[in-house]
Amino acid sequence: MEILNIKNLSFSYPEREEKAIDISEFSVKKGDFVLLCGKSGCGKTTLLKLLKKEISPFGTLSGKIELNTKNIGFVFQNPDEQIVSENVNSEFAFGLENLNISTEEISLRIAETSSYLGISYLINKKTDELSGGEKQLVNLGAVLAMRPELLLLDEPTAFLDPISAKKFIDLLLRINRELGITVIIAEHSLNEIFAFASKVCFMEEGKVSCYDTPQAVAKILKNNEFERALPSSVRIFNALNLKEEAPLYVSKAREMIENNFKADKFEFETNSFEKNALCVKNIWFRYEKKSADVLKGVNFQLKQGEILSILGSNGSGKTTLLNVLSRICEPYSGKITVFGKNIKKINGNSLYQNNLSYLVQNPVSVFVKQTVFDDFKEIEKDEKVIKEFAEKFGVSHLLKCNPFDLSGGEMQKCALIKVLFKRPKILLLDEPTKSLDAVFENELSIILKQIKDKGTSIIVVTHNVEFAAEISDRCGLLFNGVLSAICEKHKFFSQNQYYTTASSRITTGVFENTVLQREVVAVCQKQKG
């Protein structure tokens, strides 16, 4: 039975000629789990919003949307922006009040939904005390308590760390399988979800390019730019032109490699870096006198001209470490030297000019003016230089836009450029790939490598293991307040069993030192002949 049927749908935003949506046919069966994917701006969000009339955007609409249900729930991208109340209990009650449900039934539904999702321990907490993952779960619960038949989600894991994202997606799958709720989800990071969707819909410029099972879509997207968003197992498979079915899981991919190739080693080049850009000795830090230590004796050096990635789970203190390195917080013990000089002896503002720059998480706070150009002018007075940089990084068309109108990826790029105007020799980045799609992630890695080649040393703090593997020279793991296991990237990821790239997991026991999927492909192709 169909829950959604779209015929000849065409939609364009006001005062714009090009069609944001141009779909001739699209239907979803009851109980399906549909994954919508595509580049930024392909129309996924617009399509989802059109399905719910309360949040439908304004514009010229033609065609038919047939919905067999009135009960539709919508979960947005940013966990913070959806929350209405100060505490979780009344957050759940909000939607239920709007349905004119009695107090007793509201209490019952809250109890039932929160227990099912495993978040009943959060019920009495205040919403500002929750982590991002917990907030998004509360949002999901608040929507579920209204008992929707169709659940629409617009990039719900964009702002979450990988562990919370996994938990969220797992819950969605459970909801779909155990409760029979139809799920249509738009997502960028496909690693967790691609294998489990019943159908994948790939959109390009408002049109549905293909709509089929994950394996079929994987084959079709082989030569598309979007292919880099697909999971590593699929990408390796596509690059090798094998005859089998595309492996969606790591285990299947490993089987495929074991069946077709023999044990081998990947030779990698080590770059040696000599001078120290940043030297951190024995840093101890805590936020308040009575609170626990966050950093317990962190020791490391950042060499000139290298990219160092610092990985670690949520709450391990990565952002705190960057705050200490950029002097926003002062450690109560230990020493930091920047190019040989003690950081305490460097005058406040000269530390940030032509020296050290820090791009914070959620770059929204970097912008304050009406246009991106004005924001750039705040730092860089020379207009020619602004235009030069904008050309180089491909954002010239965004200079006249309001920063808040930019998409996540565009905002991240512009924020990075703004920071680069200070010509830093040391660059600190905090989660630069949050809410970025695969194409932007690739562009970002190219930009960072370019900057590195010009001599800037970079520290990237991230959850994104794949990104870290792509760009870094050395990696370290921050755990229990100490930065441990700092070593060359290939060695780092190869010696880890769980906290490592998908490619590494696929090739454990077969290949050595293969950390990126192009390395796996290179070894395979060498073997083939």
Euclidean distance between CA atoms 350 and 84, whole angstroms: 42
Q: Is 404 in the site for other proteins (CB under 8 A)?
A: yes
Tokens of 219: 């084959």
Residues numbered 419-448 forming contacts with other proteins, rule: CB under 8 A:
419, 422
Euclidean distance between CA atoms 138 and 82, whole angstroms: 10
Q: Which CB atom, from 263 or from 328, has the smaller least distance to other proteins?
A: 328
Q: Which CB atom, from 372 or from 465, has the smaller least distance to other proteins?
A: 372
Euclidean distance between CA atoms 227 and 219, whole angstroms: 10
Q: Is 55 in the site for other proteins (CB under 8 A)?
A: yes
Q: Any idea what DSSP says for residue 343?
A: G
Q: Is 88 in the site for other proteins (CB under 8 A)?
A: no
Q: Is 89 in the site for other proteins (CB under 8 A)?
A: yes
Q: Which x/- pattern over 125-164 shows residues binding other proteins (rule: CB under 8 A)?
A: -xxx----------x--xx--x------------------
| DSSP strand pairing (474-479 vs 2-12) | unpaired
* The one segment of 50-58, 226-234, 239-247, 305-313 that binds other proteins by CB under 8 A: 50-58
Q: Is 385 in the site for other proteins (CB under 8 A)?
A: no
CA–CA distance from 354 to each of 112, 176, 351 (Å)?
56, 53, 8
Euclidean distance between CA atoms 242 and 223, whole angstroms: 15
Q: Which x/- pattern over 94-123 shows residues binding other proteins (rule: CB under 8 A)?
A: xxxxxxxxxx--x-----------------
Tokens of 446: 């190219």
User: E-strand spans in 287-433?
Assistant: 295-303, 307-311, 333-338, 341-342, 356-359, 426-430
| Phi-psi label, residue 339: left if phi above 0, alpha if psi -120 to 50, beta otherwise | left
Write down the least CB distance from residue 348 to other proteins, Å.
7
Residues numbered 290-349 forming contacts with other proteins, rule: CB under 8 A:
323, 326, 328, 348-349
Write down the least CB distance from residue 479 to other proteins, Å.
24
Write down the least CB distance from residue 502 to other proteins, Å.
32
Q: Is 69 in the site for other proteins (CB under 8 A)?
A: no
Q: Which CB atom, from 322 or from 444, has the smaller least distance to other proteins?
A: 322
* The one segment of 18-26, 278-286, 362-370, 501-509 that binds other proteins by CB under 8 A: 362-370
DSSP 57-113: PPSEEEEEEEES-S-EEEE-S-TGGG--SSBHHHHHHHHHHHTT--HHHHHHHHHHH
Judged by the rule CB under 8 A, the positions of this chain that interact with other proteins are 52, 54-55, 73-74, 76, 78, 80-87, 89-90, 93-103, 106, 126-128, 139, 142-143, 146, 323, 326, 328, 348-349, 352-353, 357-358, 360, 362-368, 378-379, 404, 418-419, 422
